[in-house]
Amino acid sequence: MKRLSILSTAVVAVFCASTVPVSARSSIVPLFVTAPDGGEAAEGFVDENDAFYTVPVVSGVTVTLPRKIAVPGSVMTRYLAADTVLFQAASSDGIAYCASSNKDPDAPPQYDRMVRVFVCLRDDDRDGVFDRAMTTGGEASVFPVMQERGIDWRALDEPVPYNLSTKRPYPVDYTMRFVLRRALPKKDVVFVALRIGQGSEAETISYDRYELGPDGELELFGGRFRVTSMTKDGAQFEVVRPLPIRPVILGKTSTRAFYVPG
């Protein structure tokens, strides 16, 4: 296996340091991040309810399999094709890599099933070879949402090597957006919503009031922005410090799917 890149190591460290409310989440949770090459700032004046900064959300660390594998499931054997891209996930037993599986041993990799069974693999001794596997059900989503049931790790009869990859298993247009909700120029205050998702289906993760400093700046999730002009109808922003790599945890709850630590 290729050695983890600096980005991959940083992503693992960020997630390990994050606190996830386990009682509200699945036993295995997909791990995604904001794109490492940064986001895009809106040009010119931004009206209320428009985004002033947007950054893609991607799978932070992915690996591929050099050959097809079979994993016994609770009902039937599940298969992952050669070259399947697996995304990183956190389980109660450590880091795992998962992908949507097939019941047909000759089927190609599939990433867009509406009802899925995921196969997850673990490399317990970190020697570049998967030692254990499990299967679990998945919910309907263009991003992977895994159910809590079915978490039953089993030793593989034959260990499976894997390779670090730069491919993305879910090439959909999911973004994190900072949206200007209200501008109060007389008070030097803006209200900003953080939204994550796809198009109109994005969900609001946070909504907060920010008092601007003497230099007109505010900090959002490690990024820093300056309001260069503001009226009651909107504002103009410039990026002082781009948003750093931020973890985006995907675990279905009764109220939301995304969780952004920090």
Q: Is residue 98 part of a domain?
A: no
Per-residue model confidence as pLDDT tens digits over 130-183: 999 988 877 655 566 676 555 578 898 889 999 998 887 664 567 889 999 999
Number of domains making up the chain: 1
CA 211 to chain CA centroid, Å, is 29
pTM over 0.85: no
Intra-chain end-to-end CA distance of the chain, in Å: 32
Q: Is residue 130 part of a domain?
A: no
Q: Is residue 224 part of a domain?
A: yes
Q: Is residue 80 part of a domain?
A: no
- What's the whole-number mean pLDDT along residues 99-119? 73
**86 CB contacts (<8 Å, ≥6 apart)?**
62, 63, 64, 65, 80, 97, 98, 99, 121, 162, 169
Q: Is residue 111 part of a domain?
A: no
CA 174 to chain CA centroid, Å, is 9
Q: Is residue 127 part of a domain?
A: no
Q: Is residue 206 part of a domain?
A: yes
Q: For residue 34, give Cα distances in angstroms to 37, 162, 183, 241.
A: 9, 24, 26, 15
- What's the whole-number mean pLDDT along residues 238-250? 87
Domain region containing 188: 34-58+171-246
Q: Is residue 75 part of a domain?
A: no
The confidence score (pLDDT) of residue 193 equals 94
Provide the CATH number for the domain around residue 240. 2.60.98
Grouping H, G, I as helix, E, B as strand and the rest as coil, residue 6 is helix
